[in-house]
Structure 1
Amino acid sequence: MTPANAAPLVFITGASSGIGQALAARFARAGYRLALVARRTADLQAWADAQGYEADRCRVYGADVAQTDSIVAAGQACLTGQGLPDVVIANAGISVGMDTGERDDLDVLSRTFATNNVGMAATFHPFVRAMRARGSGTLVGIASVAAIRGLPGHGAYCGSKAAVVSYCESLRGELRGSGVAVVTLLPGYVDTPLTRENRYPMPFLMTPEAFAERAFRAIAERVSYRVIPWQMGVLAKLLRLLPNAWFDRALQGRPRKHRAGEGR
């Protein structure tokens, strides 16, 4: 058996449920040590204990990725307590509908970008220089197929995920030749707490475990960009090719994502 301190280390935000938790389980099966981040640390620690993850192989860190100092501190605690990760996955994100005509929804937009974009950069920040100095590492940004075209009522989410794609592309260029890879993953519809309240069809819906398996392979291959599942990528690309007038007509009357506080 590989000694705990010799096993590779993965740092995952948003690990208390859904995609993040499924990724944690998949990396654990591959022999990785885990550095797991969530706001709900008690829930996450209870899950880790239930899986039988021992303290020398799994540590839980409390942080709110929307608060820069909070997530940076979690990264620094990981460096001190477990060392420099081999893989960092910025998975934490929020998805809330918005209406630009509503003043409160401007705050929704601000919170979404603080979590999905600034939070991603802050997740990577503690590790970038050390990975570059080491000459190895993988930084993974979880975007969404919603990044490819804007959907009515999804301005905050689609805009933030499009920004994730562009940000990761920029970071990839900055780190070119350093040995540090930047992987951008775009999930389609995954059965998580974020999607279960959607009131519109979700083609090619995946379980978190199915997504995690494909994501694990993509990260191991250090691909620069991948839509999962591939069928959703094809559909999204076809939508991207539609003239705007056709696209707008196709989405006319489509149910919108729930706004904050809106009745289900």
Structure 2
Amino acid sequence: MPERSFFGHRVQALDTVFITGASSGIGWALAEYYAARGAVLGVCARRREPLQELCARWPGQLHAYPLDVTDAAAMRAAGEDFIARAGVPDIVIANAGVSVGTLTEHAEDLDTIRRVMDVNFFGMVATFAPFLGGMRRAGAGRLVGIASLAGIRGLPGAEAYSASKAAAISYLESLRLELRGSGVAVVTISPGYIRTPMTATNPFPMPFLLSADAAAPRFARAIARGSSYVVIPWQMALVGKALRVLPNQLYDRLLAGAPRKPRGSG
């Protein structure tokens, strides 16, 4: 398949890609990116209408699966259906995620904390599960997990979100080790601030903010390289490295009073 130009970049055609959280933000932008290069896609999200709109934009290329990624049975059925229609995918992107301000002291936040963990961590596992066996047998492919810079260290007011992304990062690392030598690459992408509905409620400055459309080709290049771990944009990678090495006493002093996402806002 010939090269095409998208977002100003020349890209090679791919065969099959499965993306969760495709109804908006990063997932939507990645679906557009890959569809523009001729890929056949499975797109998954809870909201049916945006998926139908996305399919209408790329007729004949997309298969829509309106479901919740925490429903493992529904995810497996979607995976089996997509494989039957398009074959074992070249790339599976576990992008679905939620971000909600939470505080442990509020009993009413406990269900929200469980939900965040279920979507951001378990949903990633449930996304990969239907495809992993086929990809291992094929000896090829990319399993891509969208983590977050927030998973490097805990952020105030984001106990659930930081914990869920830290869990995702550790899970992806374990999976990468398990699949070493199999031909299946595991790619961890930790974005900084991306302009999406999820970040729209953040009441604080977001340095090096990227639009989802600008972020998508950067994500795709990291996926194509099979990068084991990457922070996007690169400026936030420097921030992440600094956060890792700060002693607790200094980190606490700097971050304890930082602005935070309001409780209950996602």
- 2:78 is matched with 74
Q: Does 1:17 align with 2:24?
A: yes
- 1:54 is matched with 59
Give me the CA root mean square deviation: 1.6
- 1:125 is matched with 129
The DSSP-based 3-state class of the residue aligned with 2:63 is strand
How many residue pairs get aligned? The number is: 256
Alpha-carbon deviation of 1:66?
1.9
Contact 1:200 1:254 in 2 (8 A): no
Counterpart amino acid of 2:209?
L
Contact 1:34 1:59 in 2 (8 A): yes
TM-score in terms of structure 1 length: 0.93
Deviations 1:164-206 (A, max 9, x none): 1100000011111111010000000000000010012211100
Deviations 1:127-177 (A, max 9, x none): 111111111111000000111111111010001001111000000111111
Give the unaligned 5+ runs of structure 1: none
The DSSP-based 3-state class of the residue aligned with 2:92 is strand
Contact 2:14 2:34 in 1 (8 A): no
Measure, in 2, the Cα distance between the counterparts of 1:160 and 1:24.
24
- 1:172 is matched with 176
The DSSP-based 3-state class of the residue aligned with 2:165 is helix
Q: Does 1:139 align with 2:140?
A: no
Aligned counterpart in structure 1 of residue 100 of structure 2, from 96, 99, 123: 96
Contact 1:11 1:85 in 2 (8 A): yes
Percent of pairs with identical residues: 53
TM-score in terms of structure 2 length: 0.92
Query: More deviation in 9-18 or 33-42?
Result: 33-42
Measure, in 2, the Cα distance between the counterparts of 1:256 and 1:224.
30
- 1:33 is matched with 40
Counterpart amino acid of 2:124?
M
Give the unaligned 5+ runs of structure 2: 3-12
- 2:120 is matched with 116
Contact 2:144 2:223 in 1 (8 A): yes
- 1:229 is matched with 233
Measure, in 1, the Cα distance between the counterparts of 2:115 and 2:14.
36
Alpha-carbon deviation of 1:7?
5.6
Measure, in 2, the Cα distance between the counterparts of 1:65 and 1:113.
12
Q: Does 1:192 align with 2:196?
A: yes
Contact 1:68 1:122 in 2 (8 A): yes
- 1:250 is matched with 254
Contact 2:24 2:50 in 1 (8 A): no
